[in-house]
């Protein structure tokens, strides 16, 4: 969800790529439905695992696992570029939970984008 939201709401400061530490290999239908209901495009979204190439190319990694980043990203260098967001995983939940998570991610991404835009202006 976060990738689709950032791609549409903050393309001037965020070039999002989503990758998971436990990627499913597919995007849940309820994820796509929640995004579409909020006006976000879902084309091109995919579930892919985090790898060295994606890690190395990222300026910022958002950890939404709910687990400490030093455990989640063990084996990856430069953990200082990780920002932890405590976001509930809607997997297996009802449509309403997916909607709530979508709205929460919109808010978080908008705050991140504002922070990045402000940093660019310095």
Residue 107 belongs to some domain of the structure:
yes
User: What CATH number did the domain enclosing 10 receive?
Assistant: 3.40.50.2300
Residue 8 belongs to some domain of the structure:
yes
DSSP structure string for the chain? -HHHHHHHH-TTT------BTT--SS--HHHHHHHHHTT---TT----B--HHHHHH-S-EEE-SSS-HHHHTTT-S-GGGEEE------TT--HHHHHHHHHHHHHHHHHHHHHHHHHHH-
Residue span of the structural domain in which 76 resides: 2-111
Residue 101 belongs to some domain of the structure:
yes
Residue 118 belongs to some domain of the structure:
no
Residue 106 belongs to some domain of the structure:
yes
Instruction: Please state which of the ranges 21-30, 62-71, 74-83 shows the lowest mean pLDDT.
Output: 74-83
Summarize pLDDT for 85-118 with one digit per residue, the tens. 999 999 999 999 999 999 999 999 999 999 999 9
Residue 117 belongs to some domain of the structure:
no
Summarize pLDDT for 21-49 with one digit per residue, the tens. 888 888 999 999 999 999 999 998 999 99
Residue 122 belongs to some domain of the structure:
no
Task: Provide the pLDDT for residue 103.
Answer: 98
Give 71's contacts (C-beta < 8 A, 6+ positions apart): none
Number of domains present in the structure of the chain: 1
- pTM for the predicted model, two decimal places: 0.92
Task: Provide the pLDDT for residue 122.
Answer: 67
Task: Provide the pLDDT for residue 78.
Answer: 73
Residue 120 belongs to some domain of the structure:
no
């Amino acid at each position: 969800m976060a990738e689709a939201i950032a791609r549409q709401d903050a393309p001037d400061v965020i070039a999002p790529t989503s990758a998971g530490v436990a990627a499913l290999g597919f995007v849940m239908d309820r994820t796509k439905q929640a995004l579409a209901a909020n006006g976000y495009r879902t084309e091109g979204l995919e579930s892919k695992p985090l790898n060295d190439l994606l890690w190395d190319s990222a300026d910022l990694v958002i950890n939404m696992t709910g687990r400490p980043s030093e455990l989640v990203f063990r084996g990856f260098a430069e953990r200082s570029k990780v920002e932890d967001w405590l976001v509930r995983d809607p997997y297996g939940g009802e449509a309403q939970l997916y909607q709530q998570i979508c709205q929460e991610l919109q808010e978080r991404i908008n705050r991140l984008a504002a922070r990045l835009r402000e940093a660019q202006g310095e």
